[in-house]
Amino acid sequence: MTDLPTAISACTLCADRFAATATAHSPRPVVWFRPGARLLIAGQAPGMRVHKSGRPFDDPSGDRLRDWLGLSREVFYDTSRVAIVPMAFCFPGYDAKGSDLPPPPICRRTWHDQVMQALRDVPLKVVIGGYAQKYHLGTRAGVTDTVHGWRDHLPGTIPLPHPSWRNTAWLKRNPWFETDLLPDLRRRIDEVMTDG
Ligand code: SF4
């Protein structure tokens, strides 16, 4: 029987959908998890750069995220400790205006419950952006309200905004994120990594 990461890596369900985007690319699932991880990073979908490298958050957003989490690249990419699971495993492509398309819902429907079952023992989840927050927290609130209410989801889950440069102004408008949330997040990550 094929294991789950191998099955997802071979998935081509969105081939026609991706071929019809402005980028006309083929599926390339970026699968980065195995059972036993101590931290789950739940995100949205790979961008073009990650599509090419095959390594999640291998871009300036990833540098900012590692800084937020207080993790070195070595630990961040150690699948025995960190699982990285976006709402779509493949780059969804750009629309005609060059904006990122949303994660195809078929990916969530096909894979996510199985992946979360495989990762059911993970002690801490970091949930990034609106699509992942809707799935993992069941919220329909906007990202700012969800992240502002981060204490509501403790101790097992902490919502974050996307670490994109596009959110630099958001960070300036919400100084509590760096003064209150991040120190607490780093302390919890230290704890789960040490306990494991
Ligand atoms: S996005 Fe998900 S469902 Fe679509 S091809 Fe990639 S792995 Fe398959």
pTM score, whole prediction: 0.95
16 CB-contact burial (10 Å; exposed 0-12 / middle 13-18 / buried 19+): exposed
Rounded to 5°, angle at Cα 78 from 73 and 84: 90
Q: Which of 18, 107, 114 to mutate to test the pocket of ligand 1 (most atoms within 8 A of CB)?
A: 107
The total number of structural domains in the chain stands at 1
CATH code: domain of residue 110 = 3.40.470.10
> Is the distance from CB of 40 to CB of 30 less than 8 angstroms?
no
pLDDT value at position 96?
Answer: 81
pLDDT for 1: 53
CA distance 157 to 142: 17
- Each residue's pLDDT expressed in tens, for the chain with a length of 196 residues: 569 999 999 999 999 999 999 899 999 999 999 999 999 999 999 999 999 999 999 999 999 999 999 999 999 999 999 999 999 999 999 988 888 899 999 999 999 999 999 999 999 999 999 999 999 999 888 999 999 999 999 999 999 999 988 888 999 999 999 999 999 999 999 999 987 6
What is the residue range of 146's domain? 4-195
Confidence at residue 63, expressed as pLDDT on a 0 to 100 scale: 95
Return the structure tokens found at 166: 């596009």
Distance 29 CA to ligand 1 centre (A): 6
How much distance in Å is there from the Cα of 141 to the middle of ligand 1? Answer: 26
Q: CA 64, CA 152: separation in Å to the nearest integer?
A: 24
107 lines ligand 1 (CB under 6 A): yes
- Exposure string over 29-61, b if 16+ CB within 10 A, otherwise e: bbbbbebebbbbbbbbbbbeebbeeebbbbbeb
